[in-house]
């Protein structure tokens, strides 16, 4: 009996469900479309066609990786964020929908600023910085990361999106090596507490970079360092925008207030959790 697209998809879904992979049907469909270079419509219209051997081999290899709970974004090598599709690999945190709130808030705060200069601390893929640059042709910025491998990914994304002439990249432990003046500092820093690290989902804990997750004993170490150092590089009246953990709103707001920041605002994500904090220098 030939291996049709419908048959191999159903077989994969069963295997994924047995391995307790969430969204097994969706993941199988996405990976089969990627292996065959199909759209969803193609997959439906050719459901009972035989799968070419090369496609089947590629699909089975992808399913094996997903059975080990590797995130689907790493298997595909890309992740959609904002209006862009970013290259991702094991050296960078996978961009998440809630981080778009940082982009939205940053764009709002810079709405009346001409030629804004943006500093992205812990840039990873460059998702926050490049999403903002894609919306503001007059903006420029710098992406900072301690990981050379992460910066390599960000540079590739900048080239793909045609913004490499408006951004630069720097290896630095937070703002240690940063100089110059910026109108806006944005950051999605590591904020997982030591206690919570042990409770992370298998696909996060085993595959996503520890450096981008671990935020110290109380999850606030990055916020302390950035908040203290940001005053040196922000222009007078400049702004800072953080992504935070769902239960960190009060603590980060208090940290900013004690450091002398004003106009401190905490915004919620679509799930109703505290997620984005902004403040003025």
Q: What is the pLDDT of residues 115-135, one digit of tens each?
A: 999 999 999 999 999 999 999
61 with 106, same domain: the answer is: no
Taken as a whole, the chain contains a residue count of 281
pLDDT digits (tens, 9 = 90+) for 148-204: 999 999 999 999 999 999 999 999 999 999 999 999 999 999 777 665 666 666 667
The answer to whether residue 79 sits within a structural domain is no
Query: pLDDT band at 87, cuts 50/70/90?
Result: very high
119 with 190, same domain: the answer is: yes
61 with 112, same domain: the answer is: no
The answer to whether residue 82 sits within a structural domain is no
Domain end residue (candidates: 33, 68, 103): 68
Domain end residue (candidates: 53, 68, 83): 68
55 with 170, same domain: the answer is: no
Give the span between the Cα atoms of 93 and 104, in whole angstroms: 20
The answer to whether residue 85 sits within a structural domain is no
Residue 214 has pLDDT above 60, yes or no: no
**Roughly what angle, to the nearest 10 degrees, separates helices 24-36 and 5-18?**
140
106 with 239, same domain: the answer is: yes
Q: What is the pLDDT of residue 105?
A: 98
- Secondary structure class of 229 (helix, strand, coil): helix
Give the span between the Cα atoms of 189 and 245, in whole angstroms: 10
Give the span between the Cα atoms of 257 and 246, in whole angstroms: 19
CATH classification of the domain holding 116: 3.40.50.150
pLDDT average, residue stretch 43-71: 95
Q: Which of 188, 220, 175 is nearest to 106 (CA)?
A: 188
214 with 120, same domain: the answer is: yes
239 with 106, same domain: the answer is: yes
Domain end residue (candidates: 68, 84, 112): 68
Query: pLDDT band at 84, cuts 50/70/90?
Result: very high
Neighbours of 26 (CB within 10 A): 12
Angle among Cα 94, 100, 104 to the nearest 5 degrees reads 155
31 with 129, same domain: the answer is: no
pLDDT average, residue stretch 233-256: 94
Rg of the chain on CA atoms, in Å: 21
276 near 99, Cβ under 8 Å? no
CA dihedral 42, 46, 52, 56 (to 10 degrees): 70
Neighbours of 140 (CB within 10 A): 17
pLDDT average, residue stretch 235-245: 95
What's the total number of domains in the chain? 2
148 with 233, same domain: the answer is: yes
128 near 102, Cβ under 8 Å? yes
Give the span between the Cα atoms of 67 and 78, in whole angstroms: 19
62 with 106, same domain: the answer is: no
The answer to whether residue 78 sits within a structural domain is no
Q: What is the pLDDT of residue 17?
A: 96
45 with 158, same domain: the answer is: no
The answer to whether residue 83 sits within a structural domain is no
Please give the residue range of the domain that contains residue 59: 5-68
212 with 271, same domain: the answer is: yes
Q: What is the pLDDT of residue 45?
A: 94
């Amino acid at each position: 009996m030939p291996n049709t697209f419908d048959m191999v998809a159903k077989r994969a879904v069963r295997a994924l469900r047995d391995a307790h992979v969430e969204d097994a049907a969706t993941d199988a469909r996405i990976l089969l479309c990627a292996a065959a270079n199909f759209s969803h419509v193609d997959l439906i219209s050719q459901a009972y066609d035989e799968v070419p051997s090369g496609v089947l081999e590629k699909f089975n290899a992808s399913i094996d990786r997903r059975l080990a709970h590797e995130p689907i974004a790493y298997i595909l090598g890309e992740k959609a964020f904002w209006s862009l599709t970013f290259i991702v690999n094991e050296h960078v945190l996978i961009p998440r929908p809630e981080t778009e709130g940082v982009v939205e808030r940053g764009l709002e705060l810079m709405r009346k600023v001409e030629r804004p200069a943006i500093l992205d601390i812990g840039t990873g893929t460059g998702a926050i910085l490049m999403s903002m640059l894609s919306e503001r042709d007059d903006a420029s910025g710098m992406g900072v990361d301690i990981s050379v491998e992460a910066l390599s990914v960000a540079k590739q994304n900048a080239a793909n999106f045609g913004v490499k002439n408006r951004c630069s990249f720097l290896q630095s432990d937070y703002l240690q090596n940063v100089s110059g003046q910026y109108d806006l500092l944005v950051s999605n820093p590591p904020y997982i507490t030591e206690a919570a690290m042990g409770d992370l989902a298998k696909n996060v804990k085993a595959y996503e970079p520890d450096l981008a997750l671990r935020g110290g004993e109380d999850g606030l170490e990055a916020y302390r360092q950035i908040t203290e150092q940001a005053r040196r590089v922000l222009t007078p009246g400049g702004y800072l925008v953080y992504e935070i953990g769902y239960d960190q709103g009060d603590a980060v707001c208090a940290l900013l207030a004690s450091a002398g920041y004003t106009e401190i605002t905490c915004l919620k994500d679509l799930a109703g959790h505290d997620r984005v904090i902004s403040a003025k220098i």
